[in-house]
Amino acid sequence: MTAYLDHAATTPMLPAALAAMTEQLAVVGNPSSLHRTGRAARRAVEESRERIARSLGARPSEVVFTSGGTESDNLAVKGTYWARRDRDPARVRLLVGATEHHAVLDCVDFLVAHEGAKVTWLECTADGVIEPATLRAAIESDPGSVALVSVMWANNEVGAVQDIRALADVAHEFEIPLHTDAVQAAGHLPVDFAACGADLMSVTAHKLGGPIGVGALVVRRGAELVPLTHGGGQERQVRSGTLDTPAIVGFAAAVVEATASMETEAARLVALRDDLIERAMAIAPDIRPSGVWHRGDGASRLPGNVHLLVPGCDGDSLLYLLDAAGVSCSTGSACQAGVPQPSHVLLAMGVAETDARGALRLTLGHTSTAADVDTFIDALPAAIERARRAREATAS
């Protein structure tokens, strides 16, 4: 028996998305061409844009197609920084959540190293939440220097959900735009671009049942952006490049299905998640979930997110041992120069480095079943025992 518990990395394509994309793959046509086949491809793109916008609470004109979340984050952060700094050279400061995905963190590091940017990292609570008062204090220290605020909607590691509306309200008091990485939130939580107050929002298809390699940056009217790519002037001159019509069609089908079934699916995943957490904690009394967790709560934590701290173990050892037992999951660590490093997310939440090294992330999705949970729970005791022996041997 095998169990795929890494849906936050990539979730299998939904049948409707696979069917829609497969059908479109058989149709020729560049949506930038003016002839009949080109116009047919353009119609498929624009109808998909309308469906995605409607599902995410946006206007079709606000949806800019990209290759995925990383490109969307880079376009939002770099494009806004350059536009705001060029108009007002004093605006060189970025206010960024300390627990962001590396698609934002590394983008910010680039701007600091090469473009004269300065960064203020927004601290979070022990549950991974950035409070509006923290953002306000960071802005008020020098409001005229801020180019952009960027805070992710739901954390990819620990599943913590931010109050984007409250954060956007604070930013807008000072006429500062806010970007949110909603890659993990879209299709899993109620995401309404118009209601949330964000000025820019990154989404991607493969986290919600669409194909890999397509996503969008939702851009509020009036937002200032400098393009990262130049060429044919597609996507309102914001993102040049031939549009991937089949992927966009599959993306739209996935968004529509994921949002339509979100309420019932969230309840199902919360039940599986809570069962997994409680049974894992019963195996070893020192195992604990990181971040906020309350049984039945699918609002303050992503419904399918399980993040466990397993003392006395290295996360990488657990991952490989579980993989050998047929369980696919992730750790809470990153590898830099070949050396595993504890998660920056957990360190920002105040987790001790020794505990952070024993983190394990398991994420459930639309194909997850109770049997997957059983497979993990059956494999966990032996994996913990061997991982602890391995760490003890290394220490000695």
**What's 14's DSSP letter?**
P
- Separation CA 251–CA 215 (nearest Å): 8
Q: What is the C-alpha to C-alpha distance for residues 10 and 367, in angstroms, rounded to an integer?
A: 12
Residue 282 to residues 150, 154, 285, 361, 381, Cα–Cα distance (Å): 38, 27, 6, 18, 11
What is the per-residue pLDDT across 58-109, written as a single tens digit (0 to 9) for each?
999 999 999 999 999 999 999 999 999 999 999 999 999 999 999 999 999 9
DSSP for 268-331 reads HHHHHHHHHHHHHHHH-TT-EE-S---TT--SSB-TTEEEEE-TTS-HHHHHHHHHHTTEE-EE
Dihedrals phi, psi of 265, to nearest 5 degrees: -70, -40
pTM, entire model: 0.96
| The two three-digit tokens of residue 391, written as one number | 């760490």
DSSP labels, 26-70: TS---TT--SHHHHHHHHHHHHHHHHHHHHHT--GGGEEEESSHH
**Are 102 and 73 in contact, with CB atoms under 8 Å apart?**
no
Let me know if domain 15-259 sits in CATH 3.40.50.620.
no
Distances (CA, A) of 334 to 167, 175, 281, 346: 28, 36, 25, 12
Q: What is the structure's pLDDT at 373?
A: 98
63 with 49: CB under 8 angstroms?
yes
d(CA 364, CA 11) in angstroms, rounded, equals: 9
pLDDT digits (tens, 9 = 90+) for 300-313: 999 999 999 999 99
**The dihedral formed by the CA atoms of 252, 253, 256 and 260, expressed in degrees to the nearest 10:** -160
Q: Does domain 262-395 have CATH number 3.90.1150.10?
A: yes
> Is 124 annotated in the active site?
no
- Residue 331: partners with Cβ closer than 8 Å, 6 or more residues away: 315, 316, 318, 319, 340, 359, 360, 361
CB count within 10 Å of CB 382 equals 13
Alpha carbon 157 to its chain centroid, in Å, reads 9
- Say if 15-259 and 262-395 have the same CATH topology: no
- Of residues 124, 313, 329, 335, which has the active-site annotation? 335
Which residue, among 242, 249, 250, has the nearest Cα to 33 in the 3D structure? Answer: 242
Distance between CA atoms of 198 and 179, rounded to whole angstroms?
6
DSSP code, position 155 = -
Task: For the chain, 396 residues long, give each residue's pLDDT as a single digit of tens.
Answer: 899 999 999 999 999 999 999 999 999 999 999 999 999 999 999 999 999 999 999 999 999 999 999 999 999 999 999 999 999 999 999 999 999 999 999 999 999 999 999 999 999 999 999 999 999 999 999 999 999 999 999 999 999 999 999 999 999 999 999 999 999 999 999 999 999 999 999 999 999 999 999 999 999 999 999 999 999 999 999 999 999 999 999 999 999 999 999 999 999 999 999 999 999 999 988 999 999 999 999 999 999 999 999 999 999 999 999 999 999 999 865 544 345 688 999 999 999 999 999 999 999 999 999 999 999 999 999 999 999 998 887 776
Map out the domains of the chain as residue ranges.
15-259, 262-395
Which residues, 6+ apart, have CB-to-CB distance to 38 below 8 Å? 29, 30, 31, 32
